[in-house]
Chains A and B, each alone.
Chain A
C-alpha cells in the first residue's frame, strides 16, 4: 500500500517537472518571438545607428574571416579527399568537383559559417550585452532617453544578417578552391574535367539556396546573441550562462532550420 502511494507520488513529481519544463520552453519561445517582433519593428523605424552597425559589421564579419576561411578550406579539402576514396571504387573520380561544389554551396558553406559565427560573434554579443545588463548600462541608456533595442540590438542584428551573407560567399569560394587543390593538385584529377563537372552540375539556384540559408542563420545568431545578453540576470555567473546559452541555442536552431529550409527549397 505504502509502495503504491510512493510510486504515485514519484509519477506526480515527474509529470510536474516535465510539465514545468515544457511550459518554460514555450514561454521562452514566446519571449524570443516577441523580441524578434520588437527588433524588426525598431529596424524599420528611424533613426538608424549606421556608425554602430558598421562597427558591428567589422567585429562580426571582418574579424570572423580567419576562422571561416580555415573551416571552409579544411572542409573543402577533406570533402575532396573522402569523396575521391568512395568515387574511385566505381570509377567516378571526375565527379569530385560536383560533390564539393554542391555541398559547399547548398549545405556546408552556410551551415559551417553559421556555426563558426555563432561560436565567435554570437557568444561575444551575449557576453557584451549581458555585462551591460548586469552593470546597469542598459538601464542607463533608457534613462538617457535612448531606446536600448534600437541602439544595441538593431545594429547587431542587421550586421549579423548582412555579414553572414558575405562570409558564406567567402566560405563557399574557399571550400571549392580547397576541393580543387586536393582534387587536381594532390589526387591528379584532370583540371578541365573537374571544373566542367563543377560548373555543369551546379546551378545558380544552388548558390541562392545557400545564401538564403546564410541570411536566416545570420538573423538567428544576431537575434539569439542579443536576446540572451539582453535578458541576463545574476552577475558574472549570469553572463557566463547567457554566453553559453547563446552559442548552444544558435547552433541548435541553425541545424534545425537547416533541415526545414532545405526541405522547403528542395
Chain B
C-alpha cells in the first residue's frame, strides 16, 4: 500500500534521509522508531506529500507522489488521516467544526449533517459533549482524541500518527494506544506511526522499523526487535545512556 524507495532528503547542508526504504502492507500497523532528529517526522511528511524527496520515490496505492499535480495530490490525501504531535487543531473553529472540516470542504453535506457525523466520530474516540468547545478549552489528551476524530472523519484508509503519546501522562498515553489499536480493529485502516515511546510501539505495531542517521537500520515484529542483536537498536529500545548512540 505504501512504498518508500531510496528516499534522500537534505535541508541545506543537513542530510536528513539517506536512502530510506520501507514498505507498508494494506491493513498493517507499522511503527518507525528513532531518536530525536533522526528524520522520523520528515519521513512521515514524505508519505503524505508535505515534503518531496531530493532523490527516490514514495508510492501510495500504486501512485507515485512525485508525479501528481496539486489536484491529484489532494485526491490522494483524501485517503489519509493524520494525527499531529500537538494535535494541530484549528484555534478559530469549535471541536465539531474541526472534526468535520474535511466534510465541509469536500462534500455538500449541511452543517447539521456534518455536526451529526462529527459527534459520531467523537464518540468513537471516547468524547462526549465537547462539540461546541474551542480547542483552547481541552486538555492535551482530549486534543489528541479530537485530532484523531478529525483524521478518521472522511473514513481514511491510511492513518499517520506523529508521536501520538508525546506530552501525555502515562495513563492518557496508554488510553491513546488503546484507541489506536481499537480503531484499527473497527476500521481496518493501515497505519504508520512515528514514536520514541517503546511501550506504545510494542503495543500498537505489527512491525517496527528503527531509523538511525537517515537510514532504516532494522525492521521486524515487536518480538524480533525486543530480541535484536544490533547494539544500536538494543541501546535505543532499552533506553540506555551507555552505548554506541551518544546523547546530543
Residue ranges of A at the interface with B (Cβ–Cβ < 8 Å): 131-132, 135-137, 139-140, 142-147
Are the CB atoms of A145 and B77 closer together than 8 Å? yes
Q: Which of B43-96 contact A (CB under 8 A)?
A: 45, 48-50, 70, 74-75, 77-78, 80-82, 84-86, 88-91
* Given known A-B contacts A136-B85, A137-B91, A143 and B48 have beta carbons under 8 A apart: yes
Please tell me the number of chain B residues within 8 Å of chain A, measured between CB atoms: 25
Contact present for B77 and A139 (CB under 8 Å) = no
The DSSP consensus for interface residues of chain B is mixed
Using CB atoms, name the residue of chain B closest to A42: B70
> Is there an interface contact between A144 and B88, defined as CB atoms closer than 8 Å?
no
Cα distance, A146 to B73, chains bound together (Å): 10
Assess whether A136 is in contact with B88, with CB atoms less than 8 Å apart: yes
User: Contact: A144 with B91, CB < 8 Å?
Assistant: no
- Ordered by A's residue number, 7 sampled pairs between the chains whose C-beta atoms are within 8 Å are A137-B91, A139-B88, A142-B77, A143-B81, A143-B82, A145-B77, A145-B78
Question: Which B positions have Cβ atoms within 8 angstroms of A?
Answer: 45, 48-50, 70, 74-75, 77-78, 80-82, 84-86, 88-91, 101-102, 105-106, 150, 160
Q: What residues of chain B lie closer than 8 Å to A147, measured between beta carbons?
A: 70, 74
Cα–Cα, bound, A217→B141 (Å):
44
Closest chain-B Cβ to A121's Cβ sits at a distance in Å of 16
Question: A169 to B55, alpha carbons, bound, how many Å?
Answer: 54
**Contact with A142, one of B50, B75, B81, B85 (Cβ below 8 angstroms):** B50
Q: Are A135 and B45 in contact (CB under 8 A)?
A: no
Least Cβ–Cβ distance between A47 and chain B, in angstroms: 9
The CA of A131 and the CA of B89, in the complex, are separated in Å by: 12
Cβ–Cβ contact A145 & B50, under 8 A: no
Residue of B nearest to A137 (CB): B88
Q: A144-B101, A145-B102 are in contact. Are A139 and B45 (CB under 8 A)?
A: yes
| Contact A136 to B105, CB < 8 A, known contacts A144-B77, A145-B74 | no
Most chain-B CB neighbours within 10 Å: which of A135, A144, A146? Answer: A144
Report A236 CB to chain B, min CB distance, Å. Answer: 14
A230 to B84 Cα, complex, angstroms = 19
Interchain CA distance A145-B71 in the complex, whole Å: 9
Question: Judging by beta carbons under 8 Å apart, are B74 and A135 in contact?
Answer: no
CB distance from A23 to the nearest CB of B (A): 14
Sample of 17 further A-B pairs with CB below 8 A, known A135-B86, A136-B88: A131-B91, A132-B90, A136-B86, A137-B90, A137-B91, A139-B84, A139-B88, A140-B82, A140-B89, A142-B49, A143-B48, A143-B77, A144-B105, A145-B77, A146-B74, A146-B102, A146-B105
State whether A145 touches B91 (Cβ < 8 A): no
Q: Write the nearest CB–CB distance from B109 to chain A, whole angstroms.
A: 15
Least Cβ–Cβ distance between A173 and chain B, in angstroms? 33
